[in-house]
Structure 1
Amino acid sequence: MDERPALFGKYEMGRLLGKGTFAKVYYAKQIDSGESVAIKVISKDQVKREGMMEQIKREIAVMRLVRHPNVAELKEVMATKTKIFFVMEYVRGGELFAKVAKGKLKEDEARKYFQQLISAVDFCHSRGVSHRDLKPENLLLDDNGDLKVSDFGLSALPEQLRNDGLLHTQCGTPAYVAPEVLRKKGYDGSKADIWSCGVILYVLLAGFLPFQDENLMKMYRKIFKAEFEFPPWFSTDARRLLSKLLVADPERRITIPAIMRVPWFRRGLTTHQAFSTEEPPPTAIEGQEDTKLPSPKFFNAFEFISSMSSGFDLSSLFENKRKTGSVFTSKCSVGAIMAKIEGVAKGMNFKVSKLKEFKFKLQGRTEGRKGPLAVTAEVFEVAPEVAVVEFCKSSGDTLEYAKFCEEDVRPGLKDIVWTWQGDQVSTVNNNAKLEEDQ
């Protein structure tokens, strides 16, 4: 290793592990603990030129919600003026498909990896994140031989959803990509992920791809028709499941809750594995109706940018003029949060009016330097037990708004607040002195 300074005084940089379109990935060691990590280095100028800065910020916010034993962990994000550094869990067992290159897997072993893959994908979908680039390079094995999906949501940086709520960008390796993605029409990212899981299961069991042809257009035609054959050694139950996974029409493709009920899939599952009771049940999956009480808008990667966690306050990093606002998380119920905000506002002699189901307007009754202060408060659901609340000034003086937040709102809401954005010093803001020449 050459004599270059430690990254942010924390990480000793090592060999280059790989290169992507926007990034280089290096092996590194945490100096204090000796822990191995992988550090993805992204050029800010390049992502700005490509107009991808907002996408990166969204994914960082959401990755803090994605903590799962079968997803490689995003540990920390740091930055300088020119570069962004993603510190990832280092998964040393190599790619799962290095095993497949030596020959097909036995059915029990293939099932174990498929169970772990579905567990990871289900968890991330419940958090509003679709991978959309599930392929061999993103499936790694740890020291225990367990599957880790790497770069979930970062390998395929998410495009804006259009007005129809669908994604419109082709990405991924063609052989693993769902037909609706190849057709360049709108598609549901989570349904496309399920197709890719089907291709992966086929490859684990067969040792080769279901759709392959030297002529790319012929391969596309096979994918569009879901035209493939089963090798003779596939069991009847495995064939039955694959016939439901590799369905060209995404509306008819099997869902994850249905996969979990398939006897072939359930075989050998242990109680601690896969689908624990701690996570939202399958009915919480995006797009399903809830006939009970209304709930606030689900916190989705594409709907709301929040960087309230320690080490992830990137507002200064991206030099964006964000609207003045305050954000906190709470473990209280949405009803309790709304009632508390209303009570505090009325105690301050603010008029409270409802703008929509989970959004208030708080209107001051006294004249300030720029007229009466008006503030909106909106609640977003992160998970069944966590909510994010955002305050924004809609009119009035900014200094008076800052005083309102610091001296009135914070003390008044302390009983329901879990963490305020920016309360813990961000790694980003303390590390401007790094040598830029990584």
Structure 2
Amino acid sequence: MGQGFSLTTLSAGSAGIDIPELSDLVYEKSMGTARFMKSIRARSQDGVVLVKVVVKPYAMDLKKYRKKIIRERKALADVPNALAYQRIAETETNGYVDIEKKWLAFQLLCAVRDCHARDVFHGDIKTENTLVTSWNWLYLSDFSSSFKPTTLPEDNPADFSYYFDTAGRRTCYLAPERFLATGETPDPKAPITWAMDVFSVGCVIAELFLETPIFTLSQLYQYRRGEYDPVDSLLNRITDKDVREMVSHMIQLSPESRYSAEEYLKFWRKKGLP
């Protein structure tokens, strides 16, 4: 997750070679800082190899590119001064199976529950701020309720871009009640609430299962006005009925209708959660 998972365009991201298809390769170092394809120096039984890695966005099919690359390799096989790609491996976009996704969702809810129990509220929960280790342990990071604004003007996205769109994706997982209509006066002392964090958690879990964000900033504005509903347009792609229902419940417009993190853990335990 985090920067490597949160992608809507083809990018190198933080891609690596720790996949079963490349288990015979040993990572040595990254080479360069390319934005499109990441170059990694690795070592095999036969010597040093160069691996080119790209993170594909959701639902992108790379089969046609694979066929072209294989055709090029065959055509260049007898050219002594040309070195084509020798191996091609395509994996799922994020490498997590459903049970792993549920485990990560469970950990995120546990983190939020424990933080809220200590009267600590995050204020900017999104995939970029959820860090996952190689053994699937999740950390919630970048707590921001102490210094980022709670409410934002709906008619001026500049504050959102400055404080919350640090990755430049234009996705928005802030609770709809944090946006003020034209003419409303912001309260500089307005606190972050647990319901606001829960909405953001629902968005993160949805992106984890869908591999695509469910709200852009403009779509969240539309959601506030009743002109857009991700439940119908996106969440129906989540095959697990319990997870789909849990996420739908978490992103309700009314903060009073949402449960606390602890209540979600209790109600969906052994259903959508491990």
TM-score, L = length of structure 2: 0.50
Q: Flag the structure with higher helix content.
A: 2
Report which of the two structures shows the higher radius of gyration computed on alpha carbons. Answer: 1
Which fold has the larger relative contact order, with Cα–Cα distance below 8 Å and residues 6 or more apart in sequence?
2
Q: Flag the structure with higher strand content.
A: 1
